[in-house]
Chain A
């Protein structure tokens, strides 16, 4: 048996896929931005000196880290209207699920970076009278940030790939557009291979760009 590849349906409908790619990037960008904010808040909560903050933050982080993302998508899209009457658009539900879920992972990256700053730095800040928030903002986070960049990138790439789950909520991101196209053209092999190539191109270029940024930061750090 020999399969005859035919990419013509892909080229003819490339606009549909490009629209999906734009939606994927939109969802990714929004979720990474919001996820970083949520992650920072959760990390600060987990590291806070009072248990009132650290216990709930830890609970949220561990819960989201240890449950499958697809379930979060369903909760926000199908569960929320049932429980609260608030119904979200596919984009909003996907963005909420992705932001909170990756926020939990980002929080652990932040926490790892923060606790990796030497004890002496914490003590030196406290010794000149800094409170917890000042110490974080002025001394710890600026130093932790550089160490966090590679794992944050890693996590963000993961998130970009996870956006494909939004297809299950009928959000028109790349994989959903591909599904639609595949049922119309009967060319799933060509279409999904193209989807893979598009994801690869975007993420590979992003990682090259990131490596350049890291390189520059490393050079600056070696002043």
Chain B
């Protein structure tokens, strides 16, 4: 990954909400096709970090580059500002999947998936429809195309949300705790879809509490603590042989009930 320009480069990223500094300087270079799992206890800043990458939260300081090109311009106070056109381009290249799915309830499943290509990319409806049907097939929901989201289970809704993000054909996918609001029996189907995507060589960043999944999914694991990357490495290094005491304590809490 060190050979080429990283797909995504983050330097000195900071984010404060009022007096509360949530991210205290994060540096990260992500190579094409890397799959990064981000772990950490609540309040460690892992979701905020993910949300800063596509400017859902505006970074308070630092630098974010996509393919070597910086996003936004830095003001005198260090705060990054991005114009709306730039934000649109950024977000068509960096897709996001939310914890709460956030499907559009007034549109059918198919319309949800078509919405970005048609409205944002100006794609013709027939072409967008065909693509949307493809993506729905990929997440195993082709037969639900004409349903409204309320009729679907949480797991199905999240799979539609993944199809909606894929339809924009982004270079990077961000998953913000994609299974945290699902009933346990529905987690598997969503993780299967995500694992399927990882076979395609997509660049993905995933915030999760599913350690077992992170182990199989990731090429690299980050452990965030108090707004900094506390430890990182391969899944084996971080999850099986963590060096840092904080990481060990975090993992111990998760394995307390192994049987």
Contact = CB atoms under 8 A, between A and B. Distances in A.
A139 B120 contact: no
What size tier do the contact residues of chain B reach? 20 to 34
Interface in B91-108: 91-92, 95-96, 98, 100, 102-106
Contacts of A121: 102, 104
B95 A127 contact: yes
B88 interface: yes
B84 A132 contact: yes
B255 interface: no
Interface in B125-177: 148, 150-151, 161, 164-165, 168
Interface residues of A, number: 19
Interface in A107-152: 118, 120-121, 123-132, 134, 138-139, 142-143
Nearest to B150: A223
A127 B96 contact: yes
A129 B102 contact: no
Interface in A160-213: none
A205 to B, nearest CB: 30
A124 B98 contact: yes
B213 to A, nearest CB: 22
A124 B91 contact: no
27 contacts: A120-B98, A123-B98, A124-B103, A125-B104, A126-B87, A126-B91, A127-B91, A127-B95, A127-B96, A128-B91, A128-B95, A128-B115, A128-B116, A128-B120, A128-B165, A129-B88, A129-B89, A129-B90, A129-B91, A129-B121, A129-B168, A130-B119, A138-B115, A138-B119, A143-B106, A223-B150, A223-B151
Interface of A: 118, 120-121, 123-132, 134, 138-139, 142-143, 223
